[in-house]
């Protein structure tokens, strides 16, 4: 788990740096969140609806102008 968190910190730091560069150059910043499964299921603990809302909030705080959402459907 610590490795995943470290990767997230590195990637988010790079994202913040990229946002600064894009805004300075007059660009628009677009991000996307992709998820699989039923995020409204209260039994989901790790990647709950609140998790994705928090990620979206952090992306907006970082300067994202356009935020896309992608649902990956599970096939049975």
pLDDT at position 9 is 57
pLDDT at position 75 is 55
Q: Number of folded domains in the chain?
A: 1
Look at residue 32 and give its three-state secondary structure. Answer: strand
Host domain of residue 54: 2-72
pLDDT at position 13 is 66
* β-bridge partners, 36: 72
pLDDT at position 1 is 46
CB 59 within 8 A of CB 31: yes
* β-bridge partners, 69: 33
Report mean pLDDT in 10-residue bins for the chain, 76 residues: 52 67 77 82 82 87 86 66
């Amino acid at each position: 788990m610590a490795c995943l968190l470290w990767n997230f910190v590195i990637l988010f730091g790079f994202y913040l740096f990229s946002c600064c560069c894009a805004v300075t150059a007059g660009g628009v910043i677009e991000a996307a969140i992709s998820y699989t499964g039923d995020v409204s299921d209260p039994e989901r603990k790790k990647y709950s609806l609140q998790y994705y809302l928090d990620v979206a909030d952090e992306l907006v705080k970082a300067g994202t102008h356009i935020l896309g959402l992608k649902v990956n459907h599970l096939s049975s």
